[in-house]
Amino acid sequence: MNIIVCIKQVPDTTDIKIDPETNTLIREGVESIINPFDLYAIEEAIRLKEKYGGKITAISMGPPQVEKALREAVAIGIDEILLLTDRKFAGADTWVTSLTLSEAVKKLGDYDLLLFGQQAIDGDTAQVGPGVATHLGIPQTAFVKKIESVENNKIIVQRLMEDGYDRIEMTLPAAITVVKEINEPRLPSLRGKRNAKKVELKSWNADDLQLEEDNIGLNGSPTQVIKIFSPELKKDGEKHELPSEELVEILYNKLKELGK
């Protein structure tokens, strides 16, 4: 079973700086980590390999320093790593990111399953996994809490819902995004750390993927960020410990004062 895990390197800080010209994150000089949700995707890929055999390839798009995150993935248990890096990729929104990753998947060729974390903590859109599946034209399910089985060229998963879960069957190849309820990620092993130092890093740019400059990065992104700002913190408030009838009356009068 050949599995591809798409991971992202994200800033390991709440002190995020924004480029005022492009309204994109400034990543230079900021300590970065593997997106925490992607660790669950990595763990699930390893468990599937342990059960069904095969290999796992991790793909990430970003600047050269993303190599660190990819090698950390090898230390955990990933077999092969691919970095998509090109200054032309900078500023990509979720649609363009999905397109770029999908072209890399096509170029890699043989695969059975694509795995993604639920979402990235620096964007929280949860759009890239489904977007890649859409560009590839393959079945996809988001918010997967359990993989029940993979057999006869089909996969059965449980999709987390507010009131329980849906049980879904898909034909392979397919794509899924996983939630943190699916497993408990393992730590890097000593053998894995040794492998991480010597594993070959494949690196592809826009030319390797035969992508035109108008379709990638900031130029190709249909989503444009107009303004980014920190929300104003308001700490004023009132505390009342009264019977519910009196509390309702106080709330009613307060809303009336505010013109609500």
> Would you state the pLDDT for residue 26?
63
Between strands 174-178 and 140-151, the pairing is: parallel
Domains and CATH numbers, the chain: 2-220 (3.40.50.620)
Six-digit token string for 236: 């004023």
Digit-coded pLDDT (tens) for 166-213: 999 999 999 999 999 999 999 999 999 999 999 999 999 999 999 998
Digit-coded pLDDT (tens) for 235-256: 777 777 878 888 888 888 888 8
Q: How confident is the model at residue 8 (pLDDT cuts 50, 70, 90)?
A: very high
Write phi, then psi, for 246 (nearest 5 degrees).
Answer: -70, -35
Instruction: State the Cα–Cα distance between residues 108 and 163, nearest whole angstrom.
Output: 38
**pTM recorded for the entire structure:** 0.82
Query: Is the alpha carbon torsion for 202, 205, 210, 214 positive or negative?
Result: positive
